[in-house]
Amino acid sequence: MTLDIITIPNENLRKRSIEVDLDFVNDTSSQKLFDDMIKTMYEDDGIGLAAPQIGKNIRVCVIGKDALKLDKHNTLPVEDLILINPTWQKINKKTHIDLEGCLSVPKTYGKVKRYKNIYVEALNRNGERIEFEANHFFARAIQHEVDHLDGILFIDKATGIYEVE
């Protein structure tokens, strides 16, 4: 099922999301939610989607497999990735400025400075702990989605913001 994506100025986009527990992760309705989030992400031509974007303030996001493919150093299977209660930290000080957009901020783009290399810890859809490095575009996508979980939108960090018709 495709889910409705909420857009600014919806207040759910500005709230810090709460962590979920293993009972939530293992529930069949949660597994369906993860699948519906992936379907919604693709139907709306996204590369990632965070639960607050569908009105659920829980620390869950999905990253499309194309982001993983773009990371030459990726050690994960190239498949859609569900990150539950994710955290990240920079590996080094290298940053990159690139153009970003967001399904919850339609037709708006801006340049955002993000870390190039990050270390990520999360649970996967099976409730198993995963740890990995993410680089370049893959790292950017994760940082963007985790920002959503903290109530931060790319427009809060962007410069040169512009809209398209």
Enumerate the known binding-site residues: 102, 144, 148
For the four alpha carbons of 63, 53, 130 and 81, in that order, the dihedral sign comes to: negative
Known catalytic residue at 145? yes
Enumerate the known binding-site residues for Fe cation: 102, 144, 148
Compute the distance between CA of residue 64 and CA of residue 38 in angstroms, rounded to an integer.
Answer: 8
| Residue of 19, 43, 79, 145 marked active site | 145
Compute the distance between CA of residue 32 and CA of residue 29 in angstroms, rounded to an integer.
Answer: 5
Tokens matching residue 153: 């939108």
Instruction: Check residue 26 and give left, alpha or beta (phi > 0: left; psi -120 to 50: alpha).
Output: alpha
SS3 62: strand
Compute the distance between CA of residue 92 and CA of residue 95 in angstroms, rounded to an integer.
Answer: 9
- Name the residues annotated as catalytic: 145
